Amino acid sequence: MPSGEAAMSPAGALPRRRAVAFIILLGVISLFADMTYEGARSITGPYLGLLGLTGTTIGIVSGVGELVGYAVRLGSGYLADFSGRYWAVTICGYLLNLLAVPLLALIRTTATSIRRR
């Protein structure tokens, strides 16, 4: 019976070293995603205030944003459980974060149009 790293328990399973490298890679990706998400989340209110929005509008926008975030988490969890495609849902979540944070740069035109009403 072979032993060591070359041995693979079930057919098609990853060797231990590759599995550990994959877990570390996912941890690093999660670290950077959390840094961008939390960093963007912490500056959203002051940024909207800098654009001239009132405190009420900032509160409403922040509250709706949190509601949408929780709804997406609930929906994606249900989708992952229902479909069994956990990795696809996880990767889509990271891609959504990758796209959503840079879109904050486009807020200037939206905030200006809201303020003019």
The pair of structure tokens assigned to 113 is 């149009």
Q: What is the pTM of this model?
A: 0.61
65-86 tens-digit pLDDT:
889 989 999 999 999 999 999 9
Phi, psi of 3 (to 5 degrees): -130, 170
**Read out DSSP for 13-77?**
PPPHHHHHHHHHHHHHHHHHHHHHHHHHHHHHHHHHHHTT--HHHHHHHHHHHHHHHHHHHHHHH
21-57 tens-digit pLDDT:
988 998 998 888 888 778 878 888 888 888 888 899 9
Q: Could you tell me if 33 and 94 are in contact, meaning their C-beta atoms sit under 8 angstroms apart?
A: yes
